[in-house]
Amino acid sequence: MSDLHQRLEGRKPKFAIILGSSLGDVAEAVTDPLVIPYAELSGFPLPKISGHAGKLYVGKLGGKEVAVLAGRAHPYESGNAAAMRPAIEQLHNADVTTLVLTNAAGSLKTSIGPGSLMMLTDHINYAGMNPLIGTHSDADFVSLTDAYDPGLRKQLLAAAKKEKIPLKQGVYCWFSGPSFETPAEIRMMQIVGGSAVGMSTVPETIIARRLGLKVCAISTVTNLAAGIKGASPSHEETKREGAKAAGKMRRLLTRFFKDMKA
Ligand code: HPA
């Protein structure tokens, strides 16, 4: 077990990506990777859910040095909203400054159909948990205005345009899971201004903002949320549809990093 910064063999990633369900393809695009199993890294979780790997890839994507986390711990696995905090702290200690979060999500809008990519403009924390509860620091009163960095959002939109990938934008609602939402819950989230719903990302954004990292996030829409046009989501569907969108996500992120000035 070692700290990430001791394992980098001279590599200096400024960017990290956390991959959502079945987006392992993105990790495959990393060139000349140093692959480290989470089990060898202090603070990294051992994912227990199929569709999530548990390996860190450090190498180049679009010519920039990145650390790609294939696999995340979800708060629904343990009840711990801060399950990803130690891993994100490790990234921060290794001088990562920017975190790109990806996930699979259900859509609240028929205009954002299955197969779409949606960039988060904001979120609604409906899980009733917060990863900063109980750490007792004045610095925990983190502003979440512009949690999803406006500059990075512009760069993602530009990258999508260049790659001719339609990139939707919207508000991601965090439900804890692991059960899917009810149709009544989905109707409520439509009324309060949500665009998509999922079981991750929000706590990671809060942790990363607490540490001063810049954040942007993209959902792969795997399904219409419960009740919309009779939809009844399943984990199998999430994995299958997530894998289908992986190629698009890989192209988008490769272009995003290629055109990144830093
Ligand atoms: N709800 C919550 N999480 C999800 C969904 C959904 O419909 N689809 C993929 N992840």
C-alpha 232, offset from chain centre = 23
- Going from the Cα of 165 to the center of ligand 1, the distance in angstroms, rounded, reads 22
The pLDDT value given to residue 21:
76
**Under DSSP, is residue 109 helix (H, G, I), strand (E, B) or coil?**
coil
The pLDDT value given to residue 262:
66
Residue ID of nearest Cα to ligand 1 atom 2: 198
* pLDDT grade for 261, boundaries at 50, 70 and 90: confident
User: Is 200 labeled as catalytic in the residue annotation?
Assistant: yes
Amino acid (one-letter) located at 128: G
User: Is 235 labeled as catalytic in the residue annotation?
Assistant: yes
Residue 91 has pLDDT above 80, yes or no: yes
Summarize pLDDT for 208-246 with one digit per residue, the tens. 999 999 999 999 999 999 999 988 888 888 888 888 889
- Going from the Cα of 223 to the center of ligand 1, the distance in angstroms, rounded, reads 7
Summarize pLDDT for 146-187 with one digit per residue, the tens. 999 999 999 999 999 999 999 999 999 999 999 999 999 999
Summarize pLDDT for 24-67 with one digit per residue, the tens. 889 999 999 999 999 999 999 986 766 557 999 999 999 999 99
The answer for residues whose C-beta is within 8 angstroms of residue 147's C-beta and 6 or more apart is: 122, 123, 205, 206, 209, 215
Quote the CATH superfamily of domain 4-259.
Answer: Nucleoside phosphorylase domain (3.40.50.1580)
- Going from the Cα of 156 to the center of ligand 1, the distance in angstroms, rounded, reads 23
Ligand 1 contact, 194 CB (< 6 A): no
CA distance 187 to 108: 8
Ligand 1 contact, 131 CB (< 6 A): no
Sign of dihedral through CA atoms 246, 180, 189, 229?
positive
CA distance 259 to 253: 10
User: Is 130 labeled as catalytic in the residue annotation?
Assistant: no
